[in-house]
A and B are shown apart, each in its own frame.
Chain A
Amino acid sequence: MQHLIELVDLGIALAERSSRADLRRRLEQTKERLLDPSIRVIMVGEFKQGKSQLVNGLVNAPVCPVDDDIATAVPTSVRHGDMPAAFVLTQRSSDGTVESGAPVERREVAPTELADYVSERAAPESDRQVTGAEVFLPRKLLRGGLTLIDSPGVGGLTSAHALTTLATLPSAHAMLFVSDASQEYTEPEIQFLRHAMRITPNVACVLTKTDMYPQWRRVEDLDRAHLRAIDPDIPLFPVSSHLRLTAVETSDPELNAESGFPALVSYLRRDIVGQAELLQRRSTASDLLSTSEHVRLAIDAELGALESPEKTPEIVAQLEATKGRADELRRLSSRWQTTLNDGVTDLIADMEHDLRDRMRSIQREAEDSIDEGDPGPVWDQFVEWFERRVSSAVTDTFVWTQERATWLSEKVARHFTEDEVALPVINVDDTRDVLDAVGEVAELDSGRLGLGQKFYIGLKGSYGGVLMVGIITGIIGMSIINPLSLAAGAVIGRKAYKDDTEARLQRRRNEAKVLIRRQVDEIIFQVGKQLRDRLRLVQRTTRDHFTTIADEHHRSLADSVLAAQKAASLYAAERDKRVTALRRDLARVDALTKRAAAIDIDGSARPSSASPEDPRTVSAVGAARAKAGTAPA
């Protein structure tokens, strides 16, 4: 990594010399990326499968709390640090829900006390909620920037966990899907795996607790068969964290080998870290190559004009023509702009339709079940069900929008005929705070009546009955209160009470429907706004991204034209001096180009080149850069 940074520094100096601030900015970003290489690997799976213990086994230290009963409640990230340290992240919250946009407070705690904060048992503080934890450990495995994230299990009773996990996935480079050896994959597990794979393509599966189950090899075979049905390339690692920790305690290399961890560690090193480094390397190389090409264009043009003045008009004409084409890309009415604008408009319309469609089907379902029974007594459970359905529908919409947005930017990129166009970074599918703006569903009257109310309703009915019959019987000379009128009062009172019960039920149903409808409207409104905002952001990012590229091209070509024209008007003596200077610059650029190209070949020559592209051709550089561009930072 160190020599890469040096090279980038060289490139920055070169851009500086040719006074190209735009190129310099780009390289500075590259350097930032190099200085903080964070490769996030997230452990996901159902609860109580041994995810925390797996992290502990990987770093050989009990950093993540392990318990027979209580499951992990918030994500814990473990990364490299010179001294062991632990931090708890808290956010201000009210009534158990985190306020959106509240600042995250980072507080250092003793590593041994971490369990008190991150497990389900943790006592909630009055107004702050723990949203995560960070642990720093001096470990060789983590030095390359590897960050291990222990996530709360999926499928527990608090189903929000599944969404939290899916929400953190887009920011992860890879995911380890953890399941224990007691049984083959279950249907919810495979479903989660399929869902998660749409978000993160880098997936490996881990079979834990092999020390416990005599038949783990059978289970392994069964699991492999299930995985083959999804994607034959997913690797599966049977491991035993218990053996690994025992092996470290007794420093027994044989036991360590039996634990299955060496294979997993080398997979993480070689395939995950290695590949991430390779991508990093490639994107750096391609940044450097394109910078040097841009710089060289001007130098070449000037040099050509100086060395053979008679050809100057020809060179200038050629450059002008290219510049014209590049200018075309810069214009507002250019084709890629149209594609982008149309695409985003379509996308917004589609996504609004999608959201509305999903919400409507939920609403229909909700109304059907309201009609079937009395919503009063079960309102709490009902609201819970409703919220769960809504959040999973919203997640689906966001994931889908992300896919469409990526596809759109690829389509825009096709307008740039050069094959080395990078794609912008798009991050739409993070659903963490989306539903925060939506309020809670209102309370519904549970339908229980007090004795007084019942009495009142009955009385109201019987009063009329007594009066009616009393007056009629009054005609034949009886008093208003007589046995007949009292009997009528009792009958009508009973009927009134019955009618009132039914009317109340009907009213509760209607109220419940109105509440649900209002909530659905609110959700469509709020979430729709969020989605539109994000898509606009996508549009802006994409436009800026491609405009920068177009600008760079334009600037290089304009510089070249200028340089060539200037060269023609130089005196002979100065001309020689200039040629020497340019030759020196050119040599420097060539050296950089060669070294940048060497990085790439260097990287691909390592055994780790698991990526499918052939890295020797220039277009592959472009592809690699495109990949680096879409990989979340």
Chain B
Amino acid sequence: MNLRLLDEADALLDAAETDYRDDAEALRRIREYRRRLGEPIRVAIAGMVKAGKSTLLNAIIGEEIAPTDAGECTKVITWYRHGPTPRITMHVLGGAERSLPVRRDDGRLVIDLGGTPVEEVERVEVQWPSKRLEEVTLIDTPGIASLSTEVSARSASFLIPQDTPSEADAIIYLMRHLHSADLGFLSAFHDTSVGTSATVNALAVLSRADEIGAGRIDALLSARTIAERYRSDAALRSLALDVVPIAGLVAQSARTLRQREFDALRQIARLGRQSRERMLVSVDRFVRSDASIDVSPEDRVGLLDRYGMFGIRLSAVVIRSGCDDSTELADELYRRSGMQDLLRHVSDQFRSRADVLKVRTALTALGALIRQRPGPSSPDLANAIERLEANAHELRELSLLSAARTIGLGLAPEQAADAERLIGGSGTSARRRLGLPDDAPADDVHRSAIDALQRWRMLLGSPLLDRAALEACQVVTRTCEALVVESAPTSVQRSPLRLVQHPEPAVGGGREAQSPRDDAEDEADHQ
């Protein structure tokens, strides 16, 4: 299905290419869109200054490569994409490219622009051999609401361009608390990326969750409550798919816990309760040279830099509760940092929808191009875009999701919530759509999919629905059908419902299409 969508979009761009063969600029842009269809999905990491964007990027990649600092650090837009060997390329405004030396200082890349002023650099592209980057291209952006206004403006114009679609297919938005500037930015991103086909493609992350409540050991619990509250906030709901709290610093460093650090942490954990508390009362106390502990002050500074007060306190608790192995500690820290949740969300919301999001960006871009420079067969192209948008079930799901989040579906509240979940509002796996636990047995999934289908068919027949609600019902019913088909156990032959009334959707490939014929053959055999 997805493949088909990609192919169709590609074919459409191909047709556009022939159409615009005399217009060099348009041709360049169409080729760029086409190339983009074949690349991994682009996810930008954005947020206010010092929200922890680079730290999160490192945590996602699993290596500390992006430079981080106490002051404002990222000043140019940096792309991290997969490549066989490490390479850094600088793109100067105007199109020129220049290779930069790959230098690392304590693991982190040193991006030396070689005397080129920041204002003239369009972006820096880092190629890095990493498994994660094979599936997704990450874009690190300078913070918005920064005091160096041009840096902020750069980020804004990159993510929220005026006339072209955004360079990013989706966005992970980091915030410490929900600031009004955050909302402003998110709604601007929403507005431009929406264009013709609406969708919600931002994920909000409460970064630096470890700093809530003065780095107390239960900081992440508080962070969860906060995330829960934001999740139900009407303003944020229409702009972001979900809110996830993470402790970025802990997540980043846990992946690279060293034995030496583990030893130091164990020393701290073994201190008496009182002396440990006295030591951990403030950062200055912790690194004081006259502390009664056999860890050098330099090591302690290093620990503090890499784990923060929360990380150290958490490690002490974990070690005291019986963990005596650096791998075990690293796993536990990573588990508690909330990173897994985030990655699951990214894969649920973005990676599983990667093709759809990419196609949507390409179609929006092509639509804008046609409007700006109408060619001889532009109306045909526009029609083709519209047809694709109207027919591709995934695209309809996306725009319905956006409608559900913004203007509502015109359904009763509990039905609307059900619909939103079914079309993938909280994840695109069958179990998530059906609101089942992740480990629910296949039988349950199937049964519950059939239930949902019956429920929605019934609703579809209701004469009281207005047009918007009716369309919503149609999309949801179709989703349900796909779910039933997908979850159908291969060994079982029953299912009178199956595809008899609606033979049209080719969802799920040939397996199901096969089954009715098998039945027919069986019958023939009997006869």
Contact = CB atoms under 8 A, between A and B. Distances in A.
Given A210-B282, A214-B304, A182 B211 contact: yes
Interface string B175-194: 01111110100000000000
A451 B183 CA distance: 35
Given A182-B176, A184-B72, A214-B287, A242 B214 contact: yes
Contact of A243 (B181, B281, B304, B410): B281
Contacts of B149: 187
Contacts of B235: 157
Contact of B282 (A184, A211, A377, A450): A211
Given A69-B229, A186-B48, A187-B146, A210 B283 contact: yes
A449 B467 CA distance: 10
Residue of A211, A215, A246, A449 with most partner-chain B CB within 10 A? A211
B145 interface: yes
A211 B283 contact: yes
Nearest to B470: A451
Contact of B226 (A69, A185, A218, A243): A69
Nearest to A217: B70
Contacts of A213: 70, 283
Contacts of B145: 186-188
A183 B176 CA distance: 11
B212 interface: yes
A256 to B, nearest CB: 12
Given A157-B178, A182-B176, A214-B304, A451 B208 contact: no
Contacts of B178: 156-157
B407 A377 contact: yes
A214 B301 contact: yes
Given A183-B50, A212-B215, A258-B282, A155 B181 contact: yes
B455 interface: no
A212 B146 CA distance: 22
Contacts of A449: 466
A240 B213 CA distance: 13
A48 B466 contact: no
B181 A188 contact: yes
B71 A222 contact: yes
Contacts of B131: none
A157 B183 contact: yes
A49 B407 CA distance: 34
Contacts of B213: 68
Interface string A200-240: 00000000011111111011001000100000000000001
Interface residues of A, number: 41
B179 A185 contact: no
A242 B219 CA distance: 15
B49 interface: yes
B70 A212 contact: no
Nearest to B303: A214
A222 B233 CA distance: 34
A68 B212 contact: yes
Contacts of A182: 50, 176, 208, 211
Interface in A37-58: 46-48
Contacts of B70: 213, 215, 218-219
Interface string B300-320: 010011001100000000000
A537 interface: no
Contacts of A47: 177
Interface in B135-156: 145-147, 149, 152
Interface in A595-625: none
A444 to B, nearest CB: 14
B487 to A, nearest CB: 35
Contacts of A159: 180
Interface string B77-108: 00000000000000000000000000000000
Given A157-B233, A451-B466, A184 B147 contact: yes
A209 B309 CA distance: 12
B206 to A, nearest CB: 10
A68 B147 contact: no
B281 A211 contact: yes
A61 interface: no
Contacts of A156: 177-180
A246 B281 contact: yes
Residue of B219, B407, B410 with most partner-chain A CB within 10 A? B407
B222 interface: yes
A263 interface: no
A211 B222 contact: no
Contact of A187 (B152, B180, B208): B152
B22 interface: no
A190 interface: yes
A240 B309 CA distance: 14
A157 B180 contact: yes
Nearest to A211: B282
B29 interface: no
A190 B287 CA distance: 32
Nearest to B309: A212
Residue of A46, A159, A213, A222 with most partner-chain B CB within 10 A? A213
Interface string B217-231: 001001101100100
Given A48-B177, A69-B222, A255 B146 contact: no
Contact of A258 (B179, B180, B208, B285): B285
Contacts of B48: 186
Nearest to A254: B285
B284 interface: yes
A148 B152 CA distance: 36
Contact of A242 (B233, B282, B466): B282
Residue of B48, B178, B282 with most partner-chain A CB within 10 A? B282
Interface string A251-270: 00001001000000000000
Interface in A144-159: 155-157, 159
Interface in A8-59: 46-48
Contact of B71 (A184, A211, A448): A184
A169 B91 CA distance: 48
Contact of B49 (A186, A209, A218, A226): A186
Interface in A438-461: 448-451, 454
Contact of A186 (B146, B208, B211, B219): B146
Residue of A184, A187, A216, A451 with most partner-chain B CB within 10 A? A187
Interface in B225-282: 225-226, 229, 233, 235, 281-282
Contacts of A69: 212, 222, 225-226, 229
Interface in B162-177: 176-177
Given A157-B235, A214-B301, A377-B407, A183 B49 contact: yes
A218 B149 CA distance: 21
Given A182-B211, A184-B50, A219-B70, A190 B147 contact: yes
A68 B222 contact: yes
Nearest to B233: A157
B230 to A, nearest CB: 9
A212 B180 contact: no
A214 B215 CA distance: 13
Contacts of B183: 157
A450 B468 CA distance: 11
Contacts of B284: 210-211, 258
A183 B208 CA distance: 12
B190 to A, nearest CB: 12
Interface of B: 48-50, 70-72, 145-147, 149, 152, 176-181, 183, 208, 211-215, 219, 222-223, 225-226, 229, 233, 235, 281-285, 287, 301, 304-305, 308-309, 407, 410, 464, 466-467
Closest 5 CB pairs of A and B: A215-B70, A183-B50, A211-B282, A68-B222, A68-B213
Given A186-B48, A450-B466, 12 more contacts: A68-B225, A157-B183, A186-B49, A211-B282, A211-B283, A212-B309, A215-B70, A218-B71, A242-B214, A242-B281, A246-B281, A448-B410
9 contacts: A157-B178, A157-B183, A184-B71, A187-B146, A219-B70, A219-B71, A258-B282, A449-B466, A450-B466
